[in-house]
Amino acid sequence: MAWHKLKDDELPQSAQDFLNEYEHPVLNRKIEFHAPWFEAYYEGKDVDKATNWIIVVWDGSYYKVGATFMTWHRCITGKVVGKCNWSKNALFKTIQAIKKGEPVPFDPNYQT
């Protein structure tokens, strides 16, 4: 199916349902947004029925030191996971890989 960029100002309920699927592997808690979402993409024709999303938020540093973006997406196992990016170039490559079903690339600007 094709991916579409969300053009609305708010995430629809289907995107919120997607985010609520996330479970922290250690802390057993849901996603915490410490910054607004930046952009979002959904797979399929109907935004209200979409179950597969790519949601990018500002400030991934809550999860990794100095990360500019956090990209939430469904990995190949079907679980919702997050990927930190430190540059727009790495973010673009991450989004393209997710859309194509390819492995998410390593960010060369990674900081620990």
In contact, 56 and 38? CB cutoff 8 Å: yes
Whole-structure pTM value = 0.86
Please say if the pLDDT value at position 112 is more than 50.
no
What value does the mean pLDDT take over residues 75-83? 89
Cβ neighbours for 2, distance < 8 A, ≥ 6 positions apart: 43, 44, 45
pLDDT 10s digits, 24-62: 666 566 666 656 888 999 999 999 999 999 999 887 666
Please tell me the distance from the alpha carbon of residue 52 to that of residue 44, in angstroms, as a whole number. 8
User: Among all chains, which residue has been given the structure tokens 């990360």?
Assistant: 67
